[in-house]
Amino acid sequence: MALSISQRALTRSFLAGGLVGAFAGFLFAWESLYRNPGIASFGDRFLTILFFAILFGLAGGLIGFAADLLTTPFARTRAVAPITAAASFALAEGLARSYSVHQWYKDTWPSLTLTPGTSFRNFCIVVLICLVIGALAGAFVSWLLPRLRGAGAVALAFALGLPSAWLIVNRTETFQPPRYEASMKDDREGRLFLFVIDGADWDFLMPLIESGRVPNLASLYTSGVSGELGISYPCISPYLWTSLATGLDDDQHGLCEFFAYRPPFTNALITRYPGLGTGKRFLFQKFVPKLARLGIGSAVHASRAQKRVPELWDYTSAAGIPAAVVGWRFSYPAPAIEGAFVTDRFQETVLPQPAVYPAELRETLRIDYSNEGARRARPILGERLASMTTEELGPNAEKVEKLSYHLERDFRYTAATRDLVEAYDPRLVVAGLTAVDACEHQFILEHVLGREDDRPALSAYHARFTDEQTIDDLAGTIDDVYAITDSLVGSILASRTSSDIVMVVSDHGHDLDGSGHRFGPGGIIMMAGAGIHPAGRLEGARVYDVLPTALYALGLPVPHGLAGKVLIDAFEEKTLADHPISLVFPSEGELQEVRTLDALPELGEQDLEELKALGYVD
């Protein structure tokens, strides 16, 4: 039976939306492969392109079909429906890439506040632009479809297939790491203490330094050099912590998000999605967990297995320098290094890969610090909140629970660091502390509103998240957590000598306007100790500069081809004269591929809930 005019129009709308969607899927897959050169297999690359073309094509077709049904009563001609279909798909794409323009918002309209009105108004401008682009694409597809016969269809298939074939067989250039040897060390023997305080920000820290609440950090600040540590985008911890440890952008090191995606029927592990700025985050946040729940591919934890290049402790181990690394985020499974390594997941008892190195450490390290976490959380919360039941706390229950949890985690990392320093006598000591960032996410509203002396009545918008009494109780929580973190840093530095160097950095800062660190701001950097300027300001430092600066401080050459540089302004002229900076170039060797490790744990509901609590997923 011949199709009716209505059926033909619906089919045409499905094809119009599907064609636009398939083309978007091709573009998406092309850029995904470009951004993930560790996907080396011909079959994996082909299946990745095919999967995303089909996925986006079906989505575009369904949107086109729905748009046709919705617009039919209002359209004089059925030609409007394909245009609406493509415009609708472009609208979805505009929403998907909306994060990419947030930094533009910040630069153009610096009035983003705790209320989202201004951001929403400007976001509508972007949506309108996407609709116009989609309408033009739909008009073109509507014109093209009736003409896709014979040679025209062959030409379109060739136009789409040729770049796909090129990308399947070609790979982007990647960083080639050099080989390190013990003979590369100079005669310096002092230790390097490297602390990463996740989320530490000068706007929070400076008032505490000036008031004397953080004496250990204040001592480093006044006796050494300091400055803002520039970040890059997306401003999220997996990307930035890995950039700190590798001196490279995620184009090279490969880790961008909290979880990666493995398309069905492939071993391709996509750790970086396409998009401008932080737009590459959207599909990780929205669709990957949903696809995984439906059994369409799988979501995999961000981990060391997804990194393609060596990290700081890999270089030092190859040079024979012992290290003690504790709590570094996204470091599981534990690498075999010269010294000891305790990953940020070592407290988990059921894992398919080792969380510590050497393995016998698990039997000696204490894991449970819940009593310490609760003990330190109680005076911060105050008696009113500390004595309430979960039901009485209501919306504050999660905040109270998370405060104890994050403090416990940092007590655990600190104790493990002290134990390893004593047991292994390392020259490189690395400790990652995360309670500051977690509490900035949880308590920023109370912190900002509680600082106002003449606080106006709580708005209806803010009342959805807190109340006046809770603001009074929790306004000082972030400051208290900074003070506790300072005491933990001081306890690790108890064995510090005059020949040692201390470096304190953060992966990013935290905005006071309620936007978290979506737009930045930059982190902190402080250095003090042997050969460091006794007082000075570091300008232009970036996250990529931490690795080369740490290698130089340990007396090692710097790999050629890094995104970062040695922060020479941090060192005294005599140090630079006595120990010139040297480069080491890559030698011939095989590229280190992404290690997919099928035994890596996939993302679970508990993991998603924790990311949701921190505002990283919806």
pLDDT, one tens digit per residue, over 186-199 is: 888 899 999 999 99
The stretch 443-467 carries a mean pLDDT of 73
- Tell me the two tokens of residue 537: 């300001």
Confidence of residue 593 (pLDDT cuts 50, 70, 90): very low
Alpha carbon distance 52, 29 (integer Å) = 6
The whole-model pTM stands at 0.78
Pick the most confident of 91-95, 204-208, 236-240, 581-585: 204-208
Confidence of residue 283 (pLDDT cuts 50, 70, 90): low
Q: Are residues 382 and 521 in the same domain?
A: yes
* Torsion angle in degrees (nearest 10) through CA of 364, 367, 371, 377: 130
- Tell me the two tokens of residue 346: 């070592």
Is 243 inside any structural domain? Answer: yes
The b/e string for 409-431 (b: 16+ C-beta within 10 A; e otherwise) is bbbbbbbbbbbbbeeeebbbbbb
Q: Are residues 232 and 119 in the same domain?
A: no
Is 26 inside any structural domain? Answer: yes
Q: H-type helices in 475-512, by residue range?
A: 477-492
Q: Are residues 207 and 151 in the same domain?
A: no
- Tell me the two tokens of residue 214: 């953080």
**Residue at a domain's end among 148, 169, 190:** 169
Is 190 inside any structural domain? Answer: yes
Q: Which residues contact 170 (CB under 8 A, 6 or more apart)?
A: none
Enter the DSSP assignment of 387. T
Q: Are residues 67 and 214 in the same domain?
A: no
Alpha carbon distance 67, 362 (integer Å) = 58
Q: Are residues 163 and 220 in the same domain?
A: no
**Residue at a domain's end among 105, 139, 169:** 169
Alpha carbon distance 451, 471 (integer Å) = 10
Is 266 inside any structural domain? Answer: no
Q: Are residues 137 and 201 in the same domain?
A: no
Enter the DSSP assignment of 2. P
pLDDT, one tens digit per residue, over 482-496 is: 999 999 999 999 999
Q: Report how far apart, in Å, the C-alpha atoms of 217 and of each of 200, 205, 567 are.
A: 12, 9, 20
Q: Are residues 521 and 404 in the same domain?
A: yes
Is 177 inside any structural domain? Answer: no
- Tell me the two tokens of residue 594: 């992404």
Range of the domain at 577: 182-258+302-452+460-587
Residues linked to residue 357 through DSSP beta bridges, in sequence order: 341
Judged against a pLDDT cut of 90, whether residue 589 lies above it is answered with: no
Is 223 inside any structural domain? Answer: yes
Q: Are residues 121 and 199 in the same domain?
A: no
At 574 the pLDDT is 92
- Residue 14 near residue 145, CB atoms below 8 Å: no
Q: Are residues 129 and 229 in the same domain?
A: no
- Rg (Cα) of the chain, in Å, rounded? 27
Judged against a pLDDT cut of 60, whether residue 103 lies above it is answered with: no
Each as own residue / partner, the long-range contacts of residues 39-45 (CB below 8 Å, 24 or more positions apart, any chain) are 39/268, 39/269, 39/270, 39/594, 40/171, 40/593, 41/267, 41/268, 42/168, 42/169, 43/266, 44/266, 44/267, 44/268, 45/167, 45/168, 45/268
Alpha carbon distance 534, 402 (integer Å) = 38
Alpha carbon distance 250, 256 (integer Å) = 6
Location of structure tokens 């405060």: 403
Residues linked to residue 374 through DSSP beta bridges, in sequence order: none
Judged against a pLDDT cut of 60, whether residue 155 lies above it is answered with: yes
Q: Are residues 105 and 203 in the same domain?
A: no
pLDDT, one tens digit per residue, over 66-101 is: 766 665 555 555 555 566 666 666 655 555 544 444
Location of structure tokens 């949903």: 290
Location of structure tokens 């706390």: 393
Closest among 93, 92, 86 to 27, alpha carbons compared: 93
Alpha carbon distance 221, 200 (integer Å) = 14
Q: CB atoms < 10 A from the CB of 8, how many? A: 12
Is 282 inside any structural domain? Answer: no
Helix and strand counts by DSSP (H, E) for the chain: 22, 13
CATH assignment at residue 364: 3.40.720.10
Alpha carbon distance 381, 377 (integer Å) = 6
Is 447 inside any structural domain? Answer: yes
Alpha carbon distance 265, 316 (integer Å) = 38
- Tell me the two tokens of residue 149: 């016969």
Alpha carbon distance 251, 365 (integer Å) = 36
- Residue 159 near residue 499, CB atoms below 8 Å: no
Alpha carbon distance 264, 419 (integer Å) = 44
Confidence of residue 296 (pLDDT cuts 50, 70, 90): confident
Residue 261 CA, distance from chain mean position = 15
Number of domains in the chain: 2
In this structure, what are the phi and psi dihedrals at residue 511, rounded to the nearest 5 degrees? -70, 145
Alpha carbon distance 582, 170 (integer Å) = 34
Judged against a pLDDT cut of 60, whether residue 298 lies above it is answered with: yes
Choice among 82-91, 133-142, 265-274, 581-590 with the minimum mean pLDDT: 82-91
Q: Are residues 524 and 407 in the same domain?
A: yes
Q: Which residues contact 409 (CB under 8 A, 6 or more apart)?
A: 327, 347, 369, 373, 434, 435
3-state SS assignment for residue 218: helix
Q: Are residues 188 and 165 in the same domain?
A: no
- Tell me the two tokens of residue 135: 């309408």
